[in-house]
């Protein structure tokens, strides 16, 4: 396959569009596939790590004003970790876009660090090609689910437990949760969940995981039962 066709296919797979495909080629080139050290993605990886960290921190600060510094630090550290970057790179198919030397194969065993580093280099290429907003669009599309998972895991208020306790005390009943709809590919799945209490339906909610959607639906139901408007509407 010609390089130009290969890069076109990679852009389609990853859901991006580069004005300068040379930046994309550079970001996808592992040191084993580079003719000269400066043609590998190692320098881009350094830049991409900082861009990723900045976008995640900025998103947390602007979107979640009630989260304290300690929690933001914990969430950011997990979301930008090599482990997370490796897993998400696998999920979006970045492995199939690697440019490797003859001693390595995209189909064989590739160290997780190679994919994690390529993810960071790819983010740098997006930034260099279209600025922070282009990088932000991709990062939030791919990493938002991880942020929401961490928010649920770190949330002191477990709304499902709070709702169950409240309903049991007030009505002697148990909330029932049901998935109404799911959308998106496996790595970007969204869940639409509703909750019923004694046959009465409450405002449903969407989430990046079933757990997140159930928590949001529980928070909605709890608010309505207390006479407040639901937080999550669609």
> Active-site residue numbers?
49, 120
- Evaluate the CA torsion angle 170, 171, 176, 181 in order and state its sign: negative
**How would you write 164-208 as a 3-class SS string?**
HHHHHHHHCCCCEEEEEEEECCHHHCEEEEEEEECCEEEEEEEEC
Spell out the residues 6+ positions from residue 169 whose beta carbon is closer than 8 angstroms to its own.
none
Q: Which of 44, 52, 55, 56 is nearest to 20 (CA)?
A: 44
Spell out the residues 6+ positions from residue 217 whose beta carbon is closer than 8 angstroms to its own.
177, 193, 194, 195, 202, 203, 204, 205, 232
Ramachandran angles phi, psi of 224, nearest 5° = -65, -40
Pairing of strands 190-197, 200-207: antiparallel
Cα 5 off chain centre by:
28
């Amino acid at each position: 396959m010609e390089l130009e066709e290969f890069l076109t296919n990679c852009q389609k797979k990853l859901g991006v569009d580069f004005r300068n495909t040379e930046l994309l080629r550079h970001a996808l080139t592992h040191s084993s596939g580079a003719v000269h050290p400066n043609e590998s993605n190692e320098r881009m990886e350094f830049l991409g790590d900082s861009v990723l960290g900045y976008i995640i921190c900025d998103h947390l600060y602007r979107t979640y004003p009630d989260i304290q510094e300690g929690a933001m630090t914990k969430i950011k550290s997990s979301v930008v970790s090599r482990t997370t970057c490796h897993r998400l790179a696998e999920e979006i198919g970045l492995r199939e876009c690697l440019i490797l030397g003859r001693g390595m194969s995209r189909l064989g065993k590739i160290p997780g660090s190679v994919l994690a580093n390529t993810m960071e280099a790819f983010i740098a290429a997006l930034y260099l090609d279209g600025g922070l907003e282009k990088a932000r669009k991709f990062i939030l599309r791919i990493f938002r689910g991880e942020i929401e998972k961490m928010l649920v895991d770190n949330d002191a208020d477990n709304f499902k437990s709070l709702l169950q306790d409240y309903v049991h005390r007030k009505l002697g009943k148990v909330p029932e949760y049901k998935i109404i709809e799911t959308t998106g590919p496996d790595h970007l799945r969204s869940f639409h969940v509703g909750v019923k209490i004694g046959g009465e339906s409450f405002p449903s909610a969407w989430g990046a995981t079933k757990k997140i959607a159930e928590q949001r639906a529980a928070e909605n139901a709890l608010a309505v039962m207390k006479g407040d408007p639901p937080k999550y509407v669609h």
